[in-house]
Amino acid sequence: MNTRFAVAVHILTLLESNAGEPATSEWIAGSVNTNPALIRRQLRELAKAGLTRSQMGPGGGALLARPAERITLVDVYRAVTEDSDIIPIHESPNPNCPVGRTIQACLEQRFQAAEQALENELGRTTIADLLSSISSFECEA
């Protein structure tokens, strides 16, 4: 897997921390420490998933499309992973071998169950939870 999931969560947390003010890709890129164009590409994915929306022009930028309390990590996860499996299975095992012929279907079943468990756990945290974790961390420090 790539770091797009982590970056996407970072972006959404930033948007929530910005209290309804549109955030420019340049400002976000400054916090993530990368390129604005990269951020805009990520925002495109998040917008497609209905998690953010963007306003063009001066004073524009990105906003959460719905309350942070109603965006969980699994929403973000699905937005960035699309349909690709997180645990890939090797291609073209030998069809003349009983194990080779059947292993993919068996693995797919087990791996999907495992990924489902991962998604369930991700569904327990919202962007709002994350921001409050960050806030309390900041207060301690």
**Which residues here bind a copy of itself, judged by CB under 8 A?**
1-3, 5-7, 9-10, 13-14, 17, 30-34, 73, 86-94, 97-103, 105-107, 109-111, 113-122, 125, 130-131, 133-134, 137-138
Q: Which does 13 bind (CB under 5 to 8 A by kind): a copy of itself, DNA, none?
A: a copy of itself
Q: Which does 9 bind (CB under 5 to 8 A by kind): DNA, a copy of itself, none?
A: a copy of itself
Window contacting DNA (CB under 7 A); options: 49-57, 105-113, 114-122, 130-138: 49-57
Rounded least distance, CB 56 to DNA, Å:
4
Instruction: Check residue 69 and report its DSSP letter.
Output: G
Cα 87 vs. chain centroid, distance in angstroms?
Answer: 17
- CA distances (Å), 79 to each of 50, 73, 76, 87, 103, in order? 9, 10, 5, 17, 29
Cα(40)–Cα(8) distance, integer angstroms: 11
Q: Sketch the per residue contact string, 63 through 92, with DNA: x for CB under 7 A, - otherwise.
A: -------------------------x-xx-
Burial of 43 per CB tally in 10 Å (0-12, 13-18, 19+): buried
